[in-house]
């Protein structure tokens, strides 16, 4: 185990002889010595730790449209980093080489300070945590967001939207400005292919984010024969209109 990346995990609670992780809606119950579903959090003698604080698998200065965000600071660039693993199990993942890789990673350690320096040094207007599921990098993201906001930079997440309301609140308080949520299909598709995920909890996170003033965009990667039926795509559109209040003026 590479101890460089180990930090106390946020949002943990004792549950009898186990620890519950409340970072994402899997809310794993983890035995001593065990790890959560995502393999990034480990119960060490009754304390939960994250194994990926500052563990960077990939990093790049990208146009904001590549995140993708189409209605948030168009024409700007976001300095983007990702880590390892995921809390979903989608078989079609485009970033499978990092999302299906369990820590301990072979990646480099990057402090939040250095990440923000690189953001400014590359002429970017903001940050983005992306590539793998950013919720798993909660603790590092919070430190990045606070620092970036204090420097006048924006902060974004490209996410599957399965963070808990508690985690989302922490992110918003730290300076999350926008998130792009990948809604992968209807309830049946998401439960089957993403391995036991409740898509209604994704929509709930989107709704909460909007209510708290976060800019939200929805993406769906259309996978032929999996989530390309009219009913699935109409259902997603219906959720956007009725649950999220449709599109913002000018979009
Ligand atoms: S982040 Fe999610 S998948 Fe990972 S240990 Fe916590 S609840 Fe489980």
Q: How far is the CA of 163 from the centre of ligand 1 (A)?
A: 9
Atom of ligand 1 nearest to the CA of 35: 5
User: 26 CA distance to ligand 1 centroid (A)?
Assistant: 6
| 87 Cβ inside 6 Å of ligand 1 | yes
Query: Would you say residue 249 has pLDDT above 60?
Result: no
Atom of ligand 1 nearest to the CA of 26: 7
- The reply to whether ligand 1 has any atom less than 6 angstroms from the CB of 157 is no
Q: Is the pLDDT of residue 1 over 90?
A: no
The residue-averaged pLDDT of 94-99 equals: 94
Lowest-confidence region among 68-82, 124-138, 231-245? 231-245
* The two structure tokens encoding residue 184: 């992968």
Structure token pair of residue 236:
């997603």
The DSSP bridge partners found for residue 185 are none
Distance (Å, whole) CA 27 – CA 25: 5
pLDDT band at 243 (very low <50, low <70, confident <90, very high): confident
pLDDT tens by residue, 121-169:
999 999 999 999 999 999 999 999 999 999 999 999 999 999 999 999 9
pLDDT in tens, 170-227: 999 999 999 999 999 999 999 999 999 999 999 999 999 999 999 999 999 999 999 9
Q: What percent of the chain has pLDDT over 70?
A: 96
DSSP state for residue 242 in the 8-state scheme: I
**Contact in structure between 160 and 21 (CB atoms under 8 Å):** no
What pLDDT does 250 receive? 46
Burial of 31 (0-12, 13-18, 19+ CB in 10 A): exposed
Ligand 1 centroid–CA 92 distance in Å is 21
SS3 per residue for 102-155 = CCCCCCEECCHHHHHHHHHHCCCCEEEECCCCHHHHHHHHHHHHHHHHHCCCEE
pTM over 0.85: yes
Whether 49 shows a pLDDT value over 50: the answer reads yes
The pLDDT value recorded for residue 105 is 63
Distance 248 CA to ligand 1 centre (A): 32
Q: What is the SS3 assignment for 87?
A: coil
Ligand 1 atom closest to the CA of 87, numbered from 1: 3
């Amino acid at each position: 185990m590479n101890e460089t990346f180990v930090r106390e995990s946020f949002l943990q609670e004792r549950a009898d002889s186990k620890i519950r992780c409340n970072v994402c809606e899997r809310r794993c119950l983890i035995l001593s010595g065990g790890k959560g579903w995502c393999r990034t959090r480990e119960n060490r003698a009754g304390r939960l730790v994250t194994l990926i604080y500052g563990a960077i698998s990939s990093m790049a200065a990208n146009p904001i449209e590549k995140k993708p965000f189409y209605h948030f600071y168009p024409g700007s660039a976001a300095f983007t980093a990702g880590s390892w693993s995921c809390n979903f199990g989608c078989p079609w993942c485009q970033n499978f080489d990092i999302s299906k890789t369990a820590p301990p990673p072979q990646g480099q350690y990057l402090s939040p300070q250095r990440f923000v320096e690189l953001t400014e040094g590359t002429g970017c207007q903001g940050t983005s945590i992306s590539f793998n599921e950013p919720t798993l990098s909660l603790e590092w993201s919070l430190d990045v967001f606070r620092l970036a906001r204090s420097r006048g930079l924006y902060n974004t997440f490209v996410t599957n939207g399965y963070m808990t309301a508690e985690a989302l609140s922490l992110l918003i308080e730290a300076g999350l400005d926008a998130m792009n949520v990948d809604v992968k299909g209807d309830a049946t598709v998401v439960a089957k292919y993403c391995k036991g995920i409740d898509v209604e909890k994704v929509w709930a996170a989107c709704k909460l984010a909007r209510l708290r003033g976060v800019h939200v965009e929805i993406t769906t990667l259309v996978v032929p024969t999996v989530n390309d039926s009219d009913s699935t795509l109409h259902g997603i559109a219906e959720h956007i209109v009725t649950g999220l209040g449709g599109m913002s003026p000018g979009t």
